[in-house]
């Protein structure tokens, strides 16, 4: 752990061991340059505490860029609750309350919301001890609810921008779009795509979801044979190694990360990648591999900002959901167009362009 913190460029990290459950709690605050750090609470099992801390530090840095690129007044943070493999469900509420107390002790320098492994219902419990620094509680509890629909809206907007950039027209009618993962983001994205007349393909491992999208809606299922996909498998969707070669206009990863790698990129048969999953690139070098193949990449944290943007707008500025959604559409469209233009004018990858924009904003703020 010491070597991770020595090399990290963030501001602070908090570690606490929850003895009653055997859970390690990590809160990483990467930057408060633009405002208080905001980030989700990830709850899952890890091989060891060091791996969990590494995840928190990496994700917190990503949140800094997610907010800096569109110019939102927040910094980047992330929390990881590294639970034992078989956490007693009855112990979960008290664990969340102890975590909420830790968030409250930080006095607002870190503010949290759901992430992988947690939900709006969990935030209701965290808020019992962590308020007022807890967002995205259920609507019944006074929060903005699930971030999935607004995230899906941002990804859909990103797909329109990518199509306009590639084809000269944002119209999605007849475009083949492959959505990997049909959870709250992927499922919502599919609804938008179908309304726009796109030809939707999907990948999924959950049998109930497969029945809904394939048998109920008549969509084409792209392979889900096993979990040896070289980075193509996620908790809410999967595709086999062979499936990665599926021909489409847009590939939209909406499960977990690491789907774009040295192994999968040479096999891609798409013109652009615009997805809601975090950390889609297995390594930083994969940006260059995509560029070399002429595949347009929309940086994930640029197009999946919608959930955080809408939720914060509703809870901190009192915007109605419709107004918050309009902000998501306008922001993602404006920022992504700027990134594509900057990448072309500067002769760099779209990821590098996004980072330059973020770093310029951070530098201007001191």
Chain centre distance of CA 49: 23
CB-based burial label for 127 (10 Å; 0-12, 13-18, 19+): buried
Instruction: List the alpha helices (DSSP H) in the chain.
Output: 2-7, 49-68, 92-105, 120-130, 148-167, 184-195, 207-210, 286-292, 300-303, 306-317, 321-346, 350-364
How far apart are the C-alpha atoms of 196 and 171, rounded to whole Å? Answer: 8
Report the relative pairing of strands 75-82 and 110-114 from DSSP bridges.
unpaired
Alpha carbon separation from 337 to 16, 49, 157, 300 (Å, rounded): 42, 40, 11, 14
Chain centre distance of CA 222: 22
Query: Are the folds of 2-60+76-139 and 148-304+335-359 the same?
Result: yes
Diameter over CA atoms, the chain? 58
Is 158 strand, coil or helix? helix
Low-confidence residues of the chain, pLDDT below 50?
225-239
Q: What is the pLDDT of residues 141-175, one digit of tens each?
A: 999 999 999 999 999 999 999 999 999 999 999 99
Q: Which of 7, 44, 66, 78 is the catalytic position?
A: 78
* CATH number for the domain whose boundaries are 148-304+335-359: 3.40.50.720
From the list 191, 264, 180, the residue with the least C-alpha distance to 224 is: 180
- Rg (alpha carbons) of the chain, rounded to whole number: 20
CATH of range 2-60+76-139; options 3.40.50.10860, 3.40.50.2300, 3.10.20.600, 3.30.70.260: 3.40.50.10860
Question: pLDDT value at position 227?
Answer: 37
How far apart are the C-alpha atoms of 31 and 282, rounded to whole Å? Answer: 24
Contact 306, 155 (CB under 8 A): yes
Question: pLDDT value at position 366?
Answer: 76
71: left (phi over 0), alpha (psi -120 to 50) or beta: left
Contact 18, 98 (CB under 8 A): yes
Question: pLDDT value at position 15?
Answer: 97
Tell me the domain boundaries of the chain. 2-60+76-139, 148-304+335-359
Contact 102, 112 (CB under 8 A): no
**Structure tokens belonging to residue 132:** 């007022």
CA dihedral 149→204→270→190, nearest 10 degrees, is: -30
Active site residue 271: no
């Amino acid at each position: 752990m010491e070597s991770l913190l020595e090399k990290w460029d963030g501001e602070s990290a908090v570690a606490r061991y929850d003895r009653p459950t055997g859970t390690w709690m990590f809160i990483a605050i990467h930057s408060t340059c633009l405002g208080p750090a905001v980030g989700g609470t990830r709850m899952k099992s890890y091989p060891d505490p060091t791996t969990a801390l590494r995840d928190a530090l990496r994700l917190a840095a990503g949140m800094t860029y997610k907010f800096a690129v569109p110019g939102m007044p927040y910094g980047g943070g992330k929390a990881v609750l590294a639970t034992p493999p078989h956490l007693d469900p009855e112990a979960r509420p008290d664990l969340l309350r102890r975590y909420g107390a830790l968030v409250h002790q930080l006095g607002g320098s870190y503010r949290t919301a759901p992430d992988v492994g947690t939900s709006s219902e969990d935030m209701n419990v965290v808020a019992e001890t962590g308020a007022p620094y807890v967002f995205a509680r259920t609507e019944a509890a006074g929060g903005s609810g699930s971030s999935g629909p607004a995230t899906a809206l941002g990804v859909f907007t990103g797909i329109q921008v990518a199509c306009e950039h590639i084809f000269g027209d944002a119209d999605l009618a007849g475009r083949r779009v492959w959505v990997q993962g049909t959870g709250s983001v992927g499922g919502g994205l599919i609804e938008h795509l179908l309304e726009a007349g796109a030809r939707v393909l999907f990948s999924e491992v959950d049998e109930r979801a497969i029945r809904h999208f394939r048998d109920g809606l008549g969509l084409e299922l792209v392979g889900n044979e096993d979990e040896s996909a070289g980075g193509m498998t996620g908790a809410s969707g999967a595709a086999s190694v062979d499936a990665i070669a599926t021909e489409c206009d847009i590939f939209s990863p909406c499960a977990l990360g690491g789907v774009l790698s040295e192994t999968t990129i040479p096999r891609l048969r798409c013109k652009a990648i615009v997805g809601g999953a975090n950390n889609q690139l297995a390594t930083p070098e994969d940006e260059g591999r995509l560029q070399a193949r002429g595949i347009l990449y929309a940086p994930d944290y640029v197009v999946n900002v919608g959930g955080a943007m809408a939720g914060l707008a509703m809870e901190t500025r009192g915007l109605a959901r419709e107004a918050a959604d309009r902000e998501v559409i306008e922001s993602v469209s404006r920022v992504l167009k700027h990134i594509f233009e900057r990448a072309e004018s500067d002769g760099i990858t779209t990821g590098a362009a996004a980072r330059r924009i973020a770093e310029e904003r951070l530098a201007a703020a001191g």
